[in-house]
Structure 1
């Protein structure tokens, strides 16, 4: 899932398509380098491998690049993971005024195709120790992620820490992603007093997340 304004974030800074293209090119010059395998990908798929230094994630320590492409096998899990980190950002920003209007979010899907993957939801990895879905302690998953990359593993399938029964996929190698990304659904995230409300466009589906 991504914020829907990813499509137009630089439009308001330029007077036309030519100026916007130049602005994007200048911005690319100062961004961290993409790994070679990600350069063939559209930016929506490539960007996660470019960023993350200084910010740890479940399968990657803070001092390691490239980043990892995180996805979920169903949209409800993707919404839950995204909502969790949005609420974390709110909680870490004292005095921050939460947005009063909904934030548009876009869910998209992509094919992952690799012969070198580990399924942490199946034997021999599903023993419950260590916990791959520990909500706070990433030491075991980060150690596994580092060892998996060293061994040439391209993707990890793991239980979600934010939605019971949900399954996430962590893509370590950009070569495992098969473009193009495909639109899946549109959502609106609204900050409410006790947390966050996610509603699906043109649907009665809504998910509420408490602080």
Structure 2
């Protein structure tokens, strides 16, 4: 029996799909390590030491580009929409860079207001948006019959239904589902993908990239890229 307000036969709607997905990562880690060293050799050694201190890659992530494998490498005590706390990683992407910015804006703002001493600060960060390819079996939560649960699965604060769904998807072998296709809670109409299986993703050698600068305050998060400006107000 299903663990949520859906029916067992709804999972039979999973279908093979191909999608191009954007994801954003903070682009300042090499700048941070460069401040600590005096030569390229020292920086390379420091990067190797940092790599050795990380958790080992899961077997199904071995050999993949780090932009693909990194989200599967770590568990976190903090939950995300389709990843309960301390459970296996999920790779999140979106069909449009603007949706990536909306999702990142929320998490940057949340980090600011929940950090002692930062609530009245201004944080400026640089992010690389890159495009990967998904090919696998997806469950489209924006299509019938799942679309009837739109408000529940887009709740901005309560992820409990999403967590129940993710656990049930992982536990099912028929059909085996690689990803969940869903609507962003931070940008209405923005389509996102929660990829559960690393091998469903690939990163072409000539994948598109964009550089975005983000400014975060307690009232507003701004993103800028090549003259394009996005603003996300918060309460």
TM-score over 0.5 (shorter chain) = yes
Q: Whole-Å Cα distance in 2 between the matches of residues 64 and 25 of structure 1?
A: 27
My pick for the range that moved more, 10-19 or 83-92, is: 10-19
Q: Whole-Å Cα distance in 1 between the matches of residues 74 and 84 of structure 2?
A: 12
Aligned to 2:94: 72
Q: Whole-Å Cα distance in 2 between the matches of residues 90 and 174 of structure 1?
A: 30
- In the superposition, the TM-score normalised over structure 1's length comes to 0.88
Instruction: Give the aligned length.
Output: 206
- The yes-or-no answer on 1:174 pairing with 2:198 is yes
Stretches of structure 2 that go unaligned for 5 or more consecutive residues are 1-23
Q: Whole-Å Cα distance in 1 between the matches of residues 26 and 121 of structure 2?
A: 16
Q: Whole-Å Cα distance in 2 between the matches of residues 146 and 72 of structure 1?
A: 21
SS in 1 for 2:77: coil
Native 8 Å contact 1:113 1:176 kept in 2: yes
SS in 2 for 1:128: helix
My pick for the range that moved more, 1-10 or 48-57, is: 1-10
Aligned to 1:121: 142
- The yes-or-no answer on 1:163 pairing with 2:184 is no
Aligned to 1:46: 69
The structure with higher relative contact order (CA 8 Å, sep 6+) is 2
- The yes-or-no answer on 1:92 pairing with 2:114 is yes
SS in 1 for 2:155: coil
Aligned to 1:82: 104
Matches within 5 A, 1:20-39: 20-39=43-62
Stretches of structure 1 that go unaligned for 5 or more consecutive residues are none
SS in 2 for 1:137: coil
- In the superposition, the TM-score normalised over structure 2's length comes to 0.80
Q: Whole-Å Cα distance in 1 between the matches of residues 32 and 218 of structure 2?
A: 28
SS in 2 for 1:136: coil
Native 8 Å contact 2:223 2:231 kept in 1: yes
Q: Whole-Å Cα distance in 1 between the matches of residues 76 and 115 of structure 2?
A: 21
Aligned to 2:222: 197
Distance verdict in 2 for CA 1:150–1:21, change over 3 Å:
farther
TM-align CA RMSD: 2.0
